[in-house]
Amino acid sequence: MTYQKLLAELVSRKALIVHFSRPGKGDEGKNAVLFPQDMINAIDLCDTGKTELCCSVIWPGHVETFGDIGIVLKPRTTEAITMICTTDGGTSVDPATGRRVGAGVPFSDQAVEDTFANPTSYNEWNIDDADTIALFVCRRNARPEVAALQDITKLDGYDPIMGTEPFVGNRLVPLSEVITAFPSLPIFAIEGGQVVDCISGEVCSPYA
DSSP annotation string for 146-164: EEEEE-GGGSTT--GGG-S
**Among 172, 166, 165, 175, which residue's Cα sits nearest to residue 198?**
175
**What is the predicted pLDDT for the residue at 151?**
75
**Among 11, 42, 24, 14, which residue's Cα sits nearest to residue 130?**
42
pLDDT, average across residues 86-112: 75
Give ∠ CA 180-185-191 in degrees, rounded to 5. Answer: 105
Q: Is 110 helix (H, G, I), strand (E, B) or coil?
A: helix
pLDDT tier at 123, thresholds 50, 70, 90: confident
**What is the predicted pLDDT for the residue at 145?**
95
Burial pattern 74-86, b for ≥16 Cβ within 10 A else e, equals: bbbebebbbbbbb
Flag whether pLDDT at 97 surpasses 70.
Answer: no
pLDDT tier at 96, thresholds 50, 70, 90: low
Q: How high does pLDDT run on average in the chain?
A: 89
**What is the predicted pLDDT for the residue at 153?**
73
